[in-house]
Chains A and B, each alone.
Chain A
Amino acid sequence: MAAAASFLRGETSYRIRKFKSDGMMAITVGATILTLIPLFLVLGYLLFKGFSSLNWAFFTHMPAPVGEKGGGMANAIVGTLEVVGIAALIGVPIGVGAGLYLAANRASQFTNWIRFSADVLMGVPSIVIGIFAYAIVVRPFGGFSALSGSVALAAMMVPLVTRTTEEMVLLVPPELREASLALGVPNWRTTLSVVARTALAGITTGVILAIARVAGETAPLLFTAFGNRFWSTSLFHPINTLTVQVYTYAISPFPDWQRQAWAGAVVLTGIILALELGVRWMTGGAAKAPR
């Protein structure tokens, strides 16, 4: 009786082990809290500093010259929409098409090479992608341009969209494909109207996440889209973007510009979080871009 009771209550050595175990597990909880502190700090500062610097002029006015107060980032907001929009127009069809190819040709060696290339591309630093766009667009065209920025961002989107498309299409039951083929529907029509149509929600999610990812990029735009203090929507001239403008203002010595940088940062983060949260909310939290 006594022995059993002491066993159930635990011997000293067990109590030490239990104590150590509880301690270690508490540390993991502490690590999680510690990790989330920067998130809340960054978001907190954005709200605090960003919103206090934000006003209507920010959305409607052009950047003010040095020394002048006020001004806004109207051209940068439009520029970001343009550069990211064109990037999506280039990158999404390539990515979706390539993803459909990968999903349809699972076994071939060529497919493995493509999949490997996409994975490697995802790991290429964005600044290197920027150099690439500089080399193939800026140099031959003889100057910085909105188009070269879009090419850089598109090159970043392609592998993301490809891999999501492939994964989403593979989730479609193969029976649907067979059912469509058995109705005498040609393969291409089956792939587009039945298989891709069924995977459309997932593919769209992946595309939105890829757009959110590249919209926050600065490095590949530094020497492609470059930045522009003036209004420009031309594809073949330098164009301002939110990220580059925030960067320029943040490292400037002028307090007024630094305030503008916070305002730009809160708008930028707002757009990107809205895209990410919106997608997650629509898909019930399951969405996750490949990395």
Chain B
Amino acid sequence: MDDGRGGKSAKIIMADKLVVKNLNAYFSQIHAVRDVSLEFEENRIAAIIGPSGCGKSTLVRCLNRMHEVVPGARATGEVLLDGNNIYDDDVDPVQVRRRIGMVFQKPTPFPTMSIEDNVAAGLTLNGVQISRAERDSVVERSLRQAALWDEVKDRLRRPGASLSGGQQQRLCVARALAVQPEVILMDEPCSALDPISTARIEELLLELKSAYTIVIVTHNMQQAARTSDKTAFMYTGNLVEYGATKQIFTNPTRRETEDYITGRFG
């Protein structure tokens, strides 16, 4: 498992946090993800790249059962979280989503809530009974983890929508962190952001890696190269290649991967 980039938590034995086995996903008639199998290691960032419509977003949405939220969408196969299949009949998707958080392409602060209410939304909406002090400390911890605390600590009561786009996205990260997930999925989190905000999010990813397992979907190959430990390349619903990021970008084994990363299509 030691690929030379073990990082801070090298003393912990690397484990596969999330294992995908023969995953197929459909939208009504469309077969969007075709028999994908791969595994995501704990405390690592994995990037999924590929051209538009290759199924990378669909794949990541299958990992916390968000795919089935779309009418007519369904998925088959197995996704094991710590060895337990999240697609088992007796598993509640709601529970899965609390352990596997998600950040979306567009920043989505709840417009009716203040900044602090947004951060605590995952707790309050789930009916978790906590004291004011506990709540405040969760808000502060999450905002600090999302590198937003210093910018908003004086205006926690202001509406979430009053922040800039990049701040809103970090607010969404904080909101996802507040429920203490084990895995964070990010679906093109920077595509709506300017370069400076993008850089902040990328720094943030590298900081969060020590505590979380992160899967990021991106159409930006530089971003994948900069942030991830492993990279998966998808094309027309198939997983073409999955390996260490350095290897994928310098020495891909598959012709399609090479064509894509050298910019011949996509």
A/B: CB atoms within 8 Å of each other:
yes
CB distance from B187 to the nearest CB of A (A): 10
**Inter-chain contact B179/A183, CB cutoff 8 Å:** yes
**Inter-chain contact B71/A183, CB cutoff 8 Å:** no
Stretch from A23-31, A32-40, A82-90, A186-194 at the B interface: A186-194
Taking a contact as CB atoms closer than 8 A, the residue among A177, A180, A200 that contacts B125 in the complex is: A180
**Inter-chain contact A194/B110, CB cutoff 8 Å:** yes
- CB-CB < 8 A to B7: which residues of A? none
- CB-CB < 8 A to A190: which residues of B? 125
Is A251 positioned at the interface, with any CB of B under 8 Å from its CB? no
Query: Who on chain B is nearest to A184 by CB?
Result: B98
Stretch from B37-45, B99-107, B213-221, B222-230 at the A interface: B99-107
Considering the chains assembled together, what is the distance between the CA atoms of A41 and B175 in angstroms?
58
CB distance from B124 to the nearest CB of A (A): 8
- CB-CB < 8 A to B122: which residues of A? 183-185
CB distance from B108 to the nearest CB of A (A): 4
- CB-CB < 8 A to A176: which residues of B? 108, 110-111
Considering the chains assembled together, what is the distance between the CA atoms of A173 and B104 in angstroms?
13
**Inter-chain contact A194/B125, CB cutoff 8 Å:** yes
Near A by CB (< 8 A), chain B positions 125-158 give 125-127
Size class of the A contact interface (CB-based, 8 Å):
20 to 34
Query: Who on chain A is nearest to B124 by CB?
Result: A193
CB distance from A181 to the nearest CB of B (A): 6
- CB-CB < 8 A to A181: which residues of B? 66, 69, 97
With A173-B108, A182-B176, A184-B94 in contact, is A107–B71 under 8 Å at CB?
yes
- CB-CB < 8 A to B126: which residues of A? 183-186, 189
Is A197 positioned at the interface, with any CB of B under 8 Å from its CB? yes
With A178-B66, A183-B98 in contact, is A198–B106 under 8 Å at CB?
no
Taking a contact as CB atoms closer than 8 A, the residue among A180, A182, A184 that contacts B95 in the complex is: A184
Known: A179-B104, A182-B104, A185-B122. 5 other contacts (CB 8 A): A107-B72, A176-B110, A182-B102, A184-B99, A189-B126
Across the A-B interface, give the 10 residue pairs with the lowest CB-CB distance, nearest first: A184-B98, A182-B102, A183-B122, A184-B97, A179-B108, A185-B125, A175-B108, A186-B94, A197-B112, A193-B125
The interface of chain B, by Cβ under 8 A from chain A, is 64, 66, 69, 71-72, 94-99, 101-102, 104, 106, 108, 110-112, 121-122, 125-127, 172, 175-176, 179
The interface of chain A, by Cβ under 8 A from chain B, is 106-107, 173, 175-187, 189-190, 193-194, 197-198, 200
A-B contact pairs, 10 of them (CB 8 A): A179-B108, A179-B110, A180-B125, A182-B64, A183-B122, A183-B126, A184-B96, A185-B121, A186-B94, A197-B112
